Structure 1
């Protein structure tokens, strides 16, 4: 990995987002160096153990936490979940089903249903 991003390389944060991992949980050399497209492709094709472990156990970035919980990013913020969570923590929340989580999941379901209706109406109108 090179030390400075070039037109052919990306910052570690960008690479972490593309790999769906939480940057602070990655190895120090990943965090400190620019990643080329080729290096990123190699990481995706044959993930090293650290990447496999992060994807399986976390901590996961907030976008994945929200997706795994079935809520929006805003729902996490509204309920004071501002840090990355591990797979174990996510499973515990899903098992406990706190009131806020149930309410936010219902809200997310309604929003998705409304979005589907709106898209169907737009598709119908464009035909």
Structure 2
């Protein structure tokens, strides 16, 4: 690789996703340009005020909303949440704790439990294969 290769850039949507923010809420200069890998790293290392505000208050993209509520993105859709939410709206949903949210949280907990079980099973199978290979 040569040292004079082009700087890697990404679309603003990709950068916003990597930063965990809702693209439409970012400043116009961010949405209208391209973001280099170096610029992304700088934003992550030392976020400007607009980025800190977005991360703290939102509006948040669906993956962040789902994470904050402890449900899947599909669970959000099943619950009728299709738009980005602010931190205040997320907190209000947590306080309200509607039936759909309780159900989706329980489903997510079961999924996590099953993932742990499968991971342990695969580890045990790999250990047995390795042991047979050594015999």
TM normalised by structure 2 equals 0.88
Q: Identify the residue that residue 111 of structure 1 maps to in structure 2.
A: 111
1:41-80 alignment, distance < 5 Å: 41-80=41-80
CA RMSD of aligned residues (A): 1.0
Q: Identify the residue that residue 85 of structure 2 maps to in structure 1.
A: 85
Distance 1:10 1:20 in 2: 15
Q: Identify the residue that residue 17 of structure 2 maps to in structure 1.
A: 17
Distance 1:63 1:76 in 2: 9
Unaligned runs of 5+ in 2: 1-5, 128-135
Distance 1:88 1:48 in 2: 22
2:40 is aligned with 1:28 = no
Give how far 1:119 is off. 0.8
Q: Identify the residue that residue 131 of structure 2 maps to in structure 1.
A: none
3-state SS in 1 of match to 2:83: coil
Q: 1:5-38 CA distances to partner (integer Å, 9 max, x unpaired)?
A: x761100000001101000000001000000011
Displacement over 6 Å in runs of 4+:
none
Aligned residues: 122
3-state SS in 2 of match to 1:33: coil
Distance 1:67 1:44 in 2: 19
Distance 2:122 2:100 in 1: 33
3-state SS in 1 of match to 2:21: coil
Q: Identify the residue that residue 133 of structure 2 maps to in structure 1.
A: none
